[in-house]
Structure 1
Amino acid sequence: MKRLPFVAVVLALAGLLPFLLCACGIVFYASGVPIPNLMMAFVSYGAVSLAFFGAVHWGLALEPAPVIITSGADRLNLIRIALGVVPAFVGWVAACMAFAWAPVVGVAILAVAVPLLALVERQGWRMGALPSGYMGLRWIITAVTEACLLVVLMARLF
């Protein structure tokens, strides 16, 4: 597998800025700030992020077939395709729940989904199905994202 390009690492880390900015806005700004709108922006970006991580697996499943086909390649591609769709669906459910019920419910769904997806990806990484360096970057992104989600969740619930 190819290594991650440097620009991919930089852009992935820059992708954490909306989480950090929204979380800071939700937690630290005075009550005059329209928090529900900021919460919806936060949940919406979380849904987009989940869809993006799913798209990584969708893209890997659609890569041209290798010259040497190993056993289990079809099963791996089915898992990749499922991982390409399920995170986007969960993100959509989080956004719908945030809009239709309460934004904090969407945050809670994302707080469960983000680390769960990372744990599933770790299994794929152990099998050699992900590029080298991917999980290191993924754990950083997961840790920062999860910290933002949990801080916002605690700030809104307590």
Structure 2
Amino acid sequence: MTQIPRSALLLGLAGLIPFVWGAITTVFPDLGMWSARAIGPRFTGPYVGLFYGAVILSFMSGVLWGFATRANGNVAATGYALSVIPALWAFFMTGGGPTSAGISLIAGFLGLLGLDWLFWKQELAPPWWMSLRVMLTVVVVACLAIPLLG
């Protein structure tokens, strides 16, 4: 694997901020209460991670769709079909309350990592893709798991 381009790395890390903030405001209830009052409960605790997680799974569907455009024939058709799974997963699996939504999002991000690997293995994703995606996925899954463990 090759080095992750600086801009992709920085933007990927910045994309972790809502997940990390959700985990921190769960672990530190006083900060969570301040956050709920100052910026709203939707941007605090598990709720920010759940909402943002669904958004990011949908975003990643678009990324995978873009990778599928680099293929032809059946590989492209399969890539397009697989690329919509994360968005559909987020839509259908996150409505049953915070615990089931958190578990579903964790499963969704782990499944997404499998799709990332498939597109990378077919050389449709950049050579550095898995280095970035594994790192980001570890943080996302850990942040989504924190409210489930408390």
TM-score (norm 2): 0.81
Maintained 8 Å contact 1:36/1:103: no
> Is residue 2:52 matched to residue 1:45?
yes
- Tell me the equivalent position of 2:139: 144
Closer/same/farther in 2, CA of residues 31 and 11 from structure 1, 3 Å limit: closer
The answer to whether structure 1 residue 79 and structure 2 residue 83 are counterparts is no
Q: Structure 1: how far apart are the matches of 2:146 and 2:104?
A: 14
Matching residue's letter, 2:52: Y
| Superposition map of 1:43-122 within 5 A | 43-63=50-70, 73-95=72-94, 97=95, 101-122=96-117
Alignment length (residue pairs): 141
Shift of 1:5: 4.2
Provide closer, same or farther for how the CA distance between residues 58 and 108 of structure 1 changes in structure 2, counting only shifts above 3 A.
Answer: same
2: distance between equivalents of 1:49 and 1:24?
Answer: 19
Who is 1:69 aligned against?
none
Aligned-pair identity in percent equals 31
Give the C-alpha shift of residue 36 in structure 1: 6.7
The alpha-carbon deviation at position 93 of structure 1 amounts to 2.3
TM-score by length of 1: 0.77
Q: CA 1:80/1:136 → structure 2, altered by over 3 Å: closer, same or farther?
A: same
Q: Return the offset for 1:27.
A: 2.2
Q: Which has the larger radius of gyration?
A: 1
Residue 16 (structure 2) pairs with residue 16 (structure 1): yes
Q: Distance in 2 between matches of 1:30 and 1:4?
A: 37
Cα RMSD, aligned residues only:
2.4
1:129 Cα offset (Å): 2.2
With over 3 angstroms needed to count, the CA separation of the structure-2 counterparts of 1:120 and 1:31, relative to structure 1, is same
78-87 or 136-145: which moved more? 78-87
